[in-house]
């Protein structure tokens, strides 16, 4: 449950990105206004603050967007089902500059027939960028859904370099 979190909004080239933590681990990372953006409110226990962990997340994001860092590395504690957790761990194995498909992720987790549920799990990723769901493409290599919007997904893949030829 995404409540009782400390959060910090961070300016990025793609808009404000909000990181949230609890108990020394990131619980969330979203672009403002994206699909599944949580209802941030004091009534739900959300508190805007700058902690050491959130400062490090901001530092890493600045370095990533500045082209100085390719892999974000923070303690993560996303909340989801066991299946979702399995998919998100597999996503974290996809290196910067590379992509995968929903079908390949399904095979990677030992559930080759589950590419649709894998796609749904990718879409529900609550720690965008740190769990690099933007690196998942359709089986034919096409850009498909991204909770932050396809324009951001295209930008992120271009930024990471490998997909530049496909999306110029």
At 147, which CATH number?
Answer: 1.10.10.10
Residues 103 and 55 placed together within one structural domain of the fold:
no
> Distance of CA 139 to CAs 25, 28, 104, 147, Å?
33, 27, 8, 18
> Distance of CA 144 to CAs 64, 81, 119, 157, Å?
23, 23, 10, 13
Residues 26 and 91 placed together within one structural domain of the fold:
no
Residues 60 and 86 placed together within one structural domain of the fold:
no
Locate 1 and state its tokens.
Answer: 């449950």
Residues 57 and 91 placed together within one structural domain of the fold:
no
d(CA 159, CA 147) in angstroms, rounded, equals 18
Report yes or no on 74 lying in a domain. no
Strand, coil or helix: 55: helix
Residues 154 and 122 placed together within one structural domain of the fold:
yes
Do the strands 6-12 and 15-22 form a parallel or antiparallel pair, or are they unpaired? antiparallel
Report yes or no on 60 lying in a domain. yes
Residues 140 and 86 placed together within one structural domain of the fold:
yes
d(CA 118, CA 105) in angstroms, rounded, equals 7
CB distance 53 to 75 below 8 Å? yes
d(CA 50, CA 48) in angstroms, rounded, equals 7
Dump pLDDT digits (tens) for 53-72: 999 999 999 999 999 999 89
d(CA 22, CA 14) in angstroms, rounded, equals 25
Q: What is the pLDDT of residue 37?
A: 82
For residue 11, what is the domain's CATH number? 3.30.160.70
State the residue range of the domain holding 97. Answer: 82-167
d(CA 154, CA 146) in angstroms, rounded, equals 10
Tally of domains in the chain: 2
Report yes or no on 56 lying in a domain. yes
Q: What is the pLDDT of residue 38?
A: 82
Report yes or no on 75 lying in a domain. no
Strand, coil or helix: 45: coil
Q: What is the pLDDT of residue 1?
A: 61
In the chain, which residues have pLDDT < 50? 163-168
Residues annotated as part of the active site: 133
Report yes or no on 72 lying in a domain. no
d(CA 168, CA 163) in angstroms, rounded, equals 9
Q: What is the pLDDT of residue 3?
A: 65
Q: Comparing C-alpha atoms, which of 63, 85, 82 is closest to residue 73?
A: 63
């Amino acid at each position: 449950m995404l409540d009782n979190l400390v959060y910090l909004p961070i300016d990025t080239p793609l808009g404000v990105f909000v990181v949230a933590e609890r108990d020394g681990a990131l619980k969330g990372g979203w672009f403002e206004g994206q699909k599944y953006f949580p209802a941030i409110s004091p009534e739900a226990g959300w508190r805007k603050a700058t902690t050491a962990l959130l400062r490090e997340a901001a530092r890493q994001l600045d370095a990533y967007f500045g082209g100085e860092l390719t892999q974000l590395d923070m303690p993560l504690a996303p909340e989801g089902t066991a299946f979702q957790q399995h998919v998100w761990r597999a996503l974290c194995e996809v290196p910067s500059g590379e992509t995968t498909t929903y079908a390949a992720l399904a095979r990677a987790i030992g559930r080759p027939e589950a590419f649709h549920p894998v796609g749904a799990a990718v879409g529900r990723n609550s720690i965008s960028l740190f769990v690099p769901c933007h690196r998942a493409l359709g089986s034919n290599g096409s850009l498909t859904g991204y909770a932050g919007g396809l324009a951001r997904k295209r930008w992120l893949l271009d930024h990471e370099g490998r997909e530049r030829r496909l999306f110029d």
